[in-house]
Every structure is written in structure tokens, then in C-alpha cells.
Chains A and B, each alone.
Chain A
Amino acid sequence: MAASGRAVRSNSKTTGMNVDADIWKTKDKAPTKDRSVRLRVNPEQSNDYRVVVFGAGGVGKSSLVLRFVRGTFRDSYIPTIEDTYRQVISCNKQVCTLQITDTTGSHQFPAMQRLSISKGHAFILVYSITSRQSLEELKPIFEEIAEIKGTDIEGIPIMLVGNKCDEVNREVGTSEGAAIAKRWNCAHLETSAKTNYNVKELFQELLQLEKRRTMSLQLETKKTRSQKRKEKLRGKCSIM
């Protein structure tokens, strides 16, 4: 019963929703007001912060993200269709949505992969310490990021992550990972989604690398919810 209810909901997300602006038909009378807002609120400063996760199949991308967002290691059953997980965080003392996008399958469509890169604010490149091949496969991805971001890349948080560090049959040494990270001028960490080792730290460090704004996983807990909402609203108003 609960199951079918959920499925219907996820369906309504894609088909049954009411929208006020029809994007396809209003190409001439595109809401000018909306545009001006978009121009004034620099998109980089909008309330979404997009983290894009890359890595070969099986290295533990989903497990890491699920561990971080839901605090579990794939034991319980939670249906998903989305590629994006959201987490509320604080950014410049305001509430902001951390969007974590999994890129599984995107290698089939180079254009989709490039789109994720160009819209991403920060990147997590995951390999498994049990597979040298998985580290190799990150190289073309890093190069692609470097190319698309150009000179901006210096300000962009990138973490190279060796997952499954709980495993004993290791193929990639810690220092090897670190050496590559140094070459790419990015940070390096070993994690285990299974034992929950360094997972929160991974996201924390990533956000700390963001120098253009002050990001933190902690919301100021002293304030009540309604206070926060008010502040968020005020923040938005002042921008307009």
C-alpha cells in the first residue's frame, strides 16, 4: 500500500504537475521580470550548490552519497528514480540546497557529461582502492573538467576520493592517490561508505575548498525553523 502510494507520487513528479508558465509556448513573451531577476541574482549565487560525482561503475558512488544523505549503507530499501540527492546546508549564513548529482551512465552521451560539468560547482572523483583501472578511468574526466572550466578551475573544489578503504585487497596505495591529486591540484581522501569512515569529512572538506562563499554542513541550530525561513525570505528580498 505504502509502496504504490510512493510510486504514484514519483510518477506525478514527472507527468502530472501543474505549471504556471509554459516554457514551450511563451518564447516571445518570455517573462521579462523573471529574466531580470535571474540576471541580478548571479546564477553562481543562487540557492543551489551543485556537486557532481564521477567514477566508474561499482566504485561506490551511490553508497557514498546515500551514506552521507541518509546515513545508511544500502541495507534498507528506499526506492529512487532521481539522479540528484538534496541536502540543506548553510551558505553565507543562509539556507542553501546542496544538490549531489550522480553521473552514472553519462559516458554514453558525451554531451550530457559535459552539461553536468559545465553546470557543476564542485566535483567528487571516486575510484576504488581495490581497482587501479577505476583510477585510470578518472583521468579523461579530470581532463574534461579542466578543459571546460578553463582558468576558472583554480577556484573549483575537486576531491579525489579512494573509496572502499576498508577492503584488504588494495591495488592503489594511499600515496599513489595523493600523488595524482597533487598533480591535479586537488584534495585527496580515502573513505569507506561501508564503515562510514571519512564520509562526512569528504563533504566538509569539499565545502571548505569553496572560497567564493562560506559553506558549511551545519545549519545554525540555535534559530528556530520559522526564524530561518524568515531570514531566507529576507535574503531573497534584499537581492531583488
Chain B
Amino acid sequence: MDAKVEQILLQVKDKLGLGDDLLLCEVKSTGERIVLKENDLGITTSIGINSQLFVTPKEHLDALTPLPEQTCLSDGTFSTIEMFSSREMAYHMSLYDWELFTCVQEYELIYQVFGRYKFGKITCNLDLFLRRFNEIQFWIVTEMVLTSNLSKRVSLLRKFIKLAAHCKENRNLNCFFAIVMGLSNIAVSRLSLTWEKLPSKFKKMFADFETLMDPSRNHRVYRLSVAKMAPPIIPFMPLLMKDMTFTHEGNKTYFDGLVNFEKMHMIAQTLKTVRFCRSTPLDLEAPGTLKSADTSDYIRNIKVIDNQRLLTQLSHKLEPRRT
């Protein structure tokens, strides 16, 4: 798990005798290939959701294509989701996200932003938590475009909006944003027949959610509102990561041979936010129904399509472009 890419390559070379010019390559479900750097480490958790790792001789790099199981999800789980209440799902999702969030060590954020290889440290807990954001987002889109019946799709859309509302109530902002971003994904937002049939109460709810997502002035709306919340909070991680990235890239670590304390202070501020968010334990009221174990099981084993082009294609099949 904490092996460096070059170590993995050495191992493979010894065992398989594949020659000298080996590369470790991430192949995404889209077919995109990313050659991993030799000095990177802890890569198994940081690759894309449906990505696979391949070792290949340099000259055969072009021959790498995604495996069938990376791309072949064809059935949605509408009938399963239908059985669960949105409150129950939100509850179990928040428990799971809280687990992932509290496992993250503060330093992992620093390793991630400054570069793992510089510290020789891995960021697996953080990777898993960040990946969860993408997973939920794609899950929403996947389920929407794999539900071919219009009225079922409308009811699924309602359910997801309710789910977002419950996540917000639980102060699970990471999940809340993942859901809202999933629903604003072009593959979903373009389904106008579905949106038309949505009761106006839900339309309004969703419009309010979207305002919170407005990135203007560096996500001012979100920042102002979260500033007034009390812990426990599961924060919107992509934004925290972005703040750290910009603090790091925009400011030198050393200045005239001296440590730049102002930068260190800014980094510490972000870490303090993380600390503040989890300074009290999560204490949610359990919805207490019979399906609890099933729900928990389901939301921990979500399957998604993470290929945007495919998602958009499926969406066009459901509701062809109107002329």
C-alpha cells in the first residue's frame, strides 16, 4: 500500500521478467491513460473510481484499454433505492462519511497538497474520503440516467432532492454538495421532461440548493453560511483542498531564506477548520426502521459509471434533444 511506484515496477520486473522499460499506468473507464510518476507512493487509493492499474512495457502503452468490468454497468438500482426512505439513507450516508472524515489525519492534507513524495507519506484516508465525493456525485447521475421510465425518474429525482435536504440537516455538507452537483450535472439537468414534472416545491428547494453552490467570489455564499454552523460538520472537502492548494501555490514556503510564517499560518487555519468541524462527536438520531442494515450495506457499496461521455449519451437516449 505504501510502496513507491518504482518499487512496484522493480517487483514486477523480477517476477515476470518483462524487461527494463516498464511503466505503471492508470487506465480510466474513459480509456484515458495516466502514467504514474516513479517517485509517487500510496497510489492504490488515489486513482479514479473505476480505474485500474496496469504495468506495461513502454512501447505497448498505447495498447492499454479499459477492462469490460470498468465500463459495463448497465442496470440502475431504482427498485432498491425506492425501498429506503431518504432520511434513512441520509442517516447511513452521514455515518459512513463521518467515519471516513474522522479517519483522515490532519497531516494528510499537507502531504497531499505539498506532494506526497516530498514526505514519503501516504494519504490513503484522505484519498478515500475525497473519492467518496466523486462517487456520490457519479452515483446520482448514474441512477438518474439508468432509470428509463419517466415517472420513476421523476420520483427518483424527488428522492435525491429530499436526500440532499436531509444531508444538509445532518450538516453533512460534503455529501450535500455531491448530490446537488450530481443533479446539476449536464446529463441530469438536461432532462427537461423529468424536471417539468417535478412538483414546484421541489424545484424551489433545488433552486435554493444551487444558490449555495454558486462559486462566485470564491464560494462566498457557502462560506458565509458554514461560518455560522456549530460542529459536528462534515465539510465540503473539495473547497478545503482548493484553499490549501491556493495557499500553497500562491505563497512561497521560504522567503529570503526564512520560513514564511504567514503561509504556515494560513495552512494552519484550514487545518483548524477541519479540527473544528469534528471537535464534537456526531450524534444523529437513528431513524430506526427495519431496513437499517440493508440501507447501510447499500450506501457503502455503491456502483457508478464514472465516464461523463457515457452518462451524457445515456441521458440523450432517455430524452432525445428536442428540435
Contact = CB atoms under 8 A, between A and B. Distances in A.
B223 A24 contact: no
B218 interface: yes
A109 B265 contact: no
Contact of B269 (A11, A77, A83, A104): A11
A115 B181 contact: yes
Interface string B226-244: 0111000000001001110
Interface string B194-217: 000000000011001001111111
Contacts of A104: 245-246, 249
Given A30-B208, A81-B266, A84-B218, A112 B238 contact: yes
B224 A83 contact: no
Nearest to A97: B217
A4 B133 CA distance: 34
A111 B181 contact: yes
A10 B184 CA distance: 31
A27 B205 CA distance: 7
A80 B246 contact: yes
A119 B220 CA distance: 14
B142 interface: no
A77 B247 CA distance: 13
B178 A15 contact: no
B252 interface: yes
B215 A16 contact: no
Contacts of A188: none
A19 B218 contact: no
A148 B186 contact: yes
B225 A22 contact: yes
Contacts of A13: 223
Interface in A87-120: 99, 101-102, 104-106, 108-112, 114-116, 118-119
B243 A147 contact: no
A170 to B, nearest CB: 24
A105 B225 CA distance: 24
Interface in A129-153: 140, 144, 147-148
B66 to A, nearest CB: 16
Contact of B246 (A7, A82, A140): A82
Interface string A148-192: 100000000000000000000000000000000000000000000
B261 interface: yes
B308 interface: yes
A183 to B, nearest CB: 19
Given A7-B262, A17-B227, A81 B186 contact: no
Given A7-B265, A108-B241, 18 more contacts: A3-B261, A3-B262, A11-B269, A22-B225, A50-B216, A77-B251, A79-B263, A81-B246, A81-B247, A102-B246, A104-B245, A108-B238, A109-B133, A110-B134, A111-B178, A111-B182, A115-B215, A147-B186
Interface of A: 3-4, 6-7, 10-11, 13-17, 19, 22-24, 27, 30, 48, 50, 62, 77, 79-84, 99, 101-102, 104-106, 108-112, 114-116, 118-119, 140, 144, 147-148
Interface of B: 32, 130, 133-134, 137, 168, 178, 181-182, 184-186, 204-205, 208, 211-218, 221, 223-225, 227-229, 238, 241-243, 245-247, 249-252, 255, 260-263, 265-266, 269, 273, 308, 312
Chain A to chain B: the 7 pairs with minimum beta-carbon distance, closest first: A80-B250, A111-B181, A105-B245, A109-B238, A23-B225, A3-B262, A111-B137
